Structure 1
Amino acid sequence: MKNILITGGAGFIGSNLALALIEKKYNVTVLDTLSPQIHGENPEDNSYLFSKIKNKVKFIKGCVTSKEVWKDAVFNQDVIVHLAAETGTGQSMYEIEKYTSVNIGGTSKMLDFLANNIHTVKKVVIASSRSIYGEGKYWSDELNTAVYPEHRTDNFMANNDFEVKYKGLSKPLQLLPTDEESKIHPSSVYGITKQNQEQMIMTVCPTIGVAPVAFRYQNVYGPGQSLSNPYTGILSIFSTLIRNGKGINIFEDGKESRDFVYIDDVVNATILGIEKNEANGNVFNVGTGEATDVITVANELITNYGIEAKVNISGNYRLGDIRHNFADLTKINKVLGFKPTFDFKSGIKKFTEWVITQDVIESKYEVSIAEMKDKGLFK
């Protein structure tokens, strides 16, 4: 199990994983398109992420939607870590063909090749996502049971009512950590594609003698994440706005929360999935098990940068966004022995220390918001 192919391996998670695997003496092949949305213009010369792995891995520039690319990439591989995907919940709601073509279509091309050709692949690790849960898991005192609220609707959020609802219950619901047995009901096209990727791999691989492992990553962050991509990653988006001297527009009431997990912990969890047979056939959450609200995120960034920035809690909202979600880590701890080593404060400190070393780039955030507004998804 020494030869590992990482699709999307020049991306944020992929490049960090590649370097960690090289340290452990694995032979790493990376398949990546070097998308300008992630890597910027002239990525082969200017991408921070690509520069970290350049000349350290076998690199194949290509797209997962190409059958010919898969033939070359899979040759002599023991493990495939399938990270390649279009990301961003908001953008996925109007770039529907692109998201389904790359995420679902690319995964189907991989599985079709494995099912119909002689190969050496013994395991496939798929990057799934917390987005497949949609609105997470809650407790209802009225029903005395756990419930899974449906997607929030425009008519409530237009009246600044942002909390989740469940079948007309009057009492507020209590947020619970989302375990792997929780209801799967994504609220975005991106989430739907991740659900499809995971289900295809967990279904097909056992029938062709390949061990599947799925990791449902929470909100991954850390040094190296794209500061130029305005469609995903509020830590990057907020950081670029702050460093450009612009204010931060916080959606809803700022109390919406996410489980922010540091890149080193994500890499460590993924390597456990590669190396441990106990992972085979299983799906795992990867996070910190803690929810952090967006107001806290903004204030921590401002404090760490030492730059005054106006924070506007606007009541704006995006259709398709979830309210809350944080991971139950019981399973991954029990089966793989995984425990996160970074809490939000320590992780955000390392992230902002890295950001300060990078050039200040132009914020394209307003462009992304204008696109969503034009599509009727931003209110």
Structure 2
Amino acid sequence: MRNKVLITGGAGFIGSHLADDLINQGYSVRALDNLSEQVHGKNCDRPEYLNPEVELMVGDVRNPEDVARALEGVGYVFHLAAMVGVGQSMYEIREYTDVNNIGTAVLLEALIKNPVKKLVVASSMSIYGEGLYKTPAGELTTVPERTLEQLKTADWELYSEQGAKLEPIPTPESKAPCLSSVYALSKYDQERLCLMVGRAYNIPTVALRFFNVYGTRQALSNPYTGVLAIFASRLLNNNSPMIFEDGYQQRDFVHVRDVALACRLAMEKEEAAGKVFNVGSGNNYTIREIANRLATVMDKPHLAPDVTGKYRVGDIRHCYADISLAKEVLGFYPQVELNAGLEELAQWLEGQIAYDRVNEASAELASRGLTV
């Protein structure tokens, strides 16, 4: 019984890879998933990629009966179920708050009645807002959000009060949150709720702040998912990847199998309890570079990025992970190098059909004044 693991959102992109990893390590896995249309398409029963050994319960994390049923006989819980998307969260406010915040509250009330050996919750790099920076003099500094006046002049970078351009550096867990979207607020709420309730009821709890996760099984037809999946969808349909601002914003791209590894280590390491960890690759790349590299491995280098020069409300300029704490406490060392990960993704993409809804999503944001 105590070797059984529940993954909420377990039929999704990260959850299914985590299930594979856990099953390979001898754990028994149950997934609770509502198989939402935005992620899985219409009339999805059970994703073909989901490991046949996974016990799939179709249900909603906001439904106390579904959650109570899913927790029966379970020793560990990974809470991955969430609505994901910075842009969409800025207008589907109730849905994001309902799924992410209320769903977490329902799960925690059930865990109070049925405590487990460990709860691991998926948080997000989005809670940082802008990453950490340093001044020309070498001093560390945090920055406020860029003003609309600045962005309207296509001046994308961050500056000190004296007007000197700031240099981005790896962001550690100690950086104070700066919540610039409804999605970021909801992820911070999930993280804090789990750690708070876990401490109060003696349920060892770990929060993992995922950076930009990529790999096979991403929802290619969901225009609000990870940037690499969105680029892949465009390229599969022979369209250029669409990039906001100037494309030189920097992010950390981490392979989904490395994320699954970090999740399992957080579950297995006793010393992880009560802590928050960044889960990234520890490397940084510009969005332009990522678009070009993906186009190359997909044999479509002629599809150069379409750099829009527009700003999307809630977006930040630079943020990439300092993963030294995860290395030290979890023994987490990313295994999948970016080139190898992109090659694997390209091979998988050859057999996929993607509906390119990026223009549709962009028009939705523009109509609401969420792009500038």
User: What's the TM-score once normalised by structure 1's chain length?
Assistant: 0.94
Deviation at 1:109, TM superposition (A): 0.9
In 1, Cα distance between the equivalents of 2:339 and 2:311? Answer: 26
The aligned residue for residue 299 of structure 1 is 292
The aligned residue for residue 231 of structure 2 is 238
Which of 274, 277, 300 is the aligned partner of 1:281? 274
The aligned residue for residue 208 of structure 2 is 215
Deviation at 1:309, TM superposition (A): 1.2
In 1, Cα distance between the equivalents of 2:360 and 2:103? Answer: 28
Aligned-CA RMSD value: 1.4
CA shift digits 1:173-220 (9 cap, x unpaired): 111111011111121110111111101111111211210011101000
Q: Percent identity?
A: 40
In 1, Cα distance between the equivalents of 2:36 and 2:144? Answer: 34
In 2, Cα distance between the equivalents of 1:266 and 1:134? Answer: 21
Equivalent residues of 1:217, 1:286 under 8 A apart: yes
Is 1:36 the counterpart of 2:37? The answer is yes
The aligned residue for residue 136 of structure 1 is 131
Deviation at 1:25, TM superposition (A): 1.7
Amino acid at match of 2:275: N
In 2, Cα distance between the equivalents of 1:237 and 1:73? Answer: 32
In 2, Cα distance between the equivalents of 1:310 and 1:255? Answer: 14
The aligned residue for residue 344 of structure 2 is 350
Which of 258, 261, 264 is the aligned partner of 1:265? 258
Equivalent residues of 2:16, 2:51 under 8 A apart: no
Equivalent residues of 2:19, 2:51 under 8 A apart: no
Amino acid at match of 2:209: R
Is 1:105 the counterpart of 2:102? The answer is yes
Amino acid at match of 1:135: E
Equivalent residues of 1:150, 1:165 under 8 A apart: no
The aligned residue for residue 64 of structure 1 is 61
The range that moved more, 151-160 or 80-89, is 151-160
In 1, Cα distance between the equivalents of 2:267 and 2:285? Answer: 29
User: What's the TM-score once normalised by structure 2's chain length?
Assistant: 0.96
Deviation at 1:55, TM superposition (A): 4.1
Equivalent residues of 2:32, 2:59 under 8 A apart: yes
CA shift digits 1:37-59 (9 cap, x unpaired): 111112116xxxx2222642221
In 2, Cα distance between the equivalents of 1:82 and 1:169? Answer: 44
In 1, Cα distance between the equivalents of 2:35 and 2:345? Answer: 23
Equivalent residues of 2:78, 2:120 under 8 A apart: yes
- How many residue pairs get matched? 370
Which of 145, 154, 165 is the aligned partner of 1:151? 145
In 2, Cα distance between the equivalents of 1:38 and 1:378? Answer: 24
The aligned residue for residue 256 of structure 1 is 249
Deviation at 1:245, TM superposition (A): 1.7
Equivalent residues of 2:115, 2:203 under 8 A apart: no
SS in 1 for 2:371: coil
